[in-house]
Amino acid sequence: MKKVAKYLLSPFLKRFDNIHYGINENKSGIDNLLMSVKNMQDFFVTEKEKEQLALSHITDELVILKEQIETLKLTNKSLDTISSGVLELLESPVKGEDAERIFSLLNIISKKNSYNKIKPHVLFLIHNMNTWYSVANLFLELSQDPDLKVTIASIPRSFPGVEGYSGEEITSAALSKIGINHIRISSYSDKEISTILTTLSPDVIFRQSPWDHDIPPGFSANRINFAKLCYVPYYAVNIVKNISSGTDFDFQSNQDLHNNSWRIYCDTQYAYEKLCKNSLLRGVNARYFGHPKLDYIHTKMKETGDSEKKSGITNILWAPHHSVDQGWLSFGTFDKNYLDFLRYAEENNNVHIKLRPHPALFDFMRAKSDEIKSNVDYFLSKWASLNNTSMDYDYDYVASFDWSDILVTDGISFIVEYPLFHKPSIFIENDNHAEFNELGILAAKCNHIANDFASVLFFLDKFNDGSLEDKNNEIAELESIVLPNKGMVHQIIANDIKSNI
């Protein structure tokens, strides 16, 4: 308990030290400290009525601490005795569920303290540049505000099929490439992460996804909730009723990040209503203004306009998902058709196919068996040897949207995002995928739905001869739902943060 409690009280103790060193110059700091301890005492007394046994010791210690500060005001003596009183408080023998409850209370206290704050500090934790567009414009908007301090940090990750944590250097390089000044947190040690975050002492922390297992435990929702947590969904729109067929648990509304967040900026009105219904907090921390990523894509589409199709060449963007197993989303079809795509590229020089895999796809496939690993490596070797094929690992997939003439994908986000570019897309539908919600049904209708590779070829042929049916009506309906504040979503979210922080 001592380690965690010190971590949670660190902003308080740091400010305590500041008062100690500047006592002769700023005696008002003592009054502020006294008021804070009194507020802490009142808070704990209220909680004491709920959990008498668990909180009796800490309440008594706060009384002693208050009396010591009163004495200090009269004698102007050293604050060492008060510091030792705080340390005794941290040594209190509280265990089990009582300890977890007190940790939660200490989190609340740390959020209420505001000593010597010059400006609020907002920290963005970035582990996956492929979802950068969800927060990019919001980060830039907040960074331009002179009344805020905004920091961005690259951190390690662990995707399915990979042991341990890595990839921080890739994220850092991508941020540097686009001119984003950032700090690097390459460690996955709980102790070192705790030290760094305590030193940074952010008031607000943005995380990119609700999946705690994708990042080191030191960044988990329950470890960083000393700050006000914010979350913008990394995906464009939630289009399924439930991610997993093996449980009724709502992964999009009720994970630890959702229930520890100060603000969740929902992707659609539909998602907002689901979160209000299913989350532990019943949506009191949720807001809906639109999705910054979709807003950016729509704006980029208007800026670039319709790119001219190269004479005699069809640029195909192929984007397979990683969920090739049953039970978890199950949209992926790569294991069924990757050799078909290879054969098609080998036999057709009038196409260029750019393969943009889900970041976890190849590692996930390789982890299945030695045989599958060998087959995937063979495919990648052959793919790299062709003149009319390429790979796209860059975070900036919107650039590939602009480059391409048509998309072929098995989901998930791209069947929502790519139609907003007003270009045709082919959705290879896995019959076993997680059931669509009402938005998923609409998104699918914005694409040409194929059930196998033969139907993919059918739609490609119709595209090449100019007879492919347009989906303008369906896309217009989708836009009316997912783009409520065109061009302004990031500004509206930034204003909500600044006015409520």
pLDDT on residue 303: 82
**Cα 210 to Cα 56, 131, 229, 255, 259, distances in angstroms:** 35, 13, 11, 7, 10
What pairs with residue 204 in β-bridges?
A: 122, 228
* pLDDT bucket at 12, cuts 50 / 70 / 90: very low
As a three-state string, the secondary structure of 371-384 is: HHHHHHHHHHHHHH
Cα dihedral 152, 154, 156, 160, rounded to 10, equals 90
Q: Cα separation of 422 and 467, whole Å? A: 16
pLDDT tens for each residue of 124-154:
999 999 999 999 999 999 999 999 999 999 9
| Measured distance CA(218)–CA(214) in Å, rounded | 12
Identify the burial level of 296 via C-beta atoms within 10 angstroms of its C-beta, where 0-12 means exposed, 13-18 middle and 19 or more buried: buried
Q: State residue 30's pLDDT score.
A: 56
Tokens 């009163």 appear where?
A: 70
pLDDT at 49 over 50: no
Average pLDDT along the chain: 83
Q: Which two tokens stand for residue 298?
A: 């729509």
Closest CA to 165 of 119, 218, 227: 218
Q: Hey, what domains does the chain have and what are their CATH numbers?
A: 2-112 (no CATH), 121-290+486-500 (3.40.50.2000), 305-482 (3.40.50.12580)
Per-residue H/E/C for 41-73: HHHHHHHHCCCHHHHHHHHHHHHHHHHHHHHHH
- Rounded to 10 degrees, the C-alpha dihedral 210/214/216/218 comes to 0
What tens digit of pLDDT does each residue of 392-440 get? 999 899 999 999 999 999 989 999 999 999 999 999 999 989 889 999 9
pLDDT at 110: 57
End-to-end CA gap in the chain: 29
Report the alpha-carbon distance of residue 123 to residue 197 in Å, rounded.
10
* Closest to 330 (Cα-Cα) out of 389, 261, 243: 243
Taking 90 as the threshold, does the pLDDT of residue 208 lie above it?
Answer: yes
Answering whether pTM is above 0.85, one says: no
Tell me whether residue 101 is exposed, middle or buried, using C-beta atoms within 10 angstroms of its C-beta: 0 to 12, 13 to 18, 19 or more.
middle
139: phi then psi, degrees, rounded to nearest 5: -60, -45
Q: Give the pLDDT confidence score for residue 96 in this predicted structure.
A: 54
Residue 291 CB burial class (10 angstroms; 0-12, 13-18, ≥19) = buried
- 448-450 and 121-126 strand pairing: unpaired
Farthest CA pair distance, the chain: 91
Residues whose CB is less than 8 angstroms from the CB of residue 386 and which lie 6 or more positions away in sequence, other chains included: 345, 346
Query: Cα(58)–Cα(109) distance, rounded to whole angstroms?
Result: 13
Answer yes or no: is pLDDT of 53 > 50: no
Read off the pLDDT band of 250 (50, 70, 90): confident
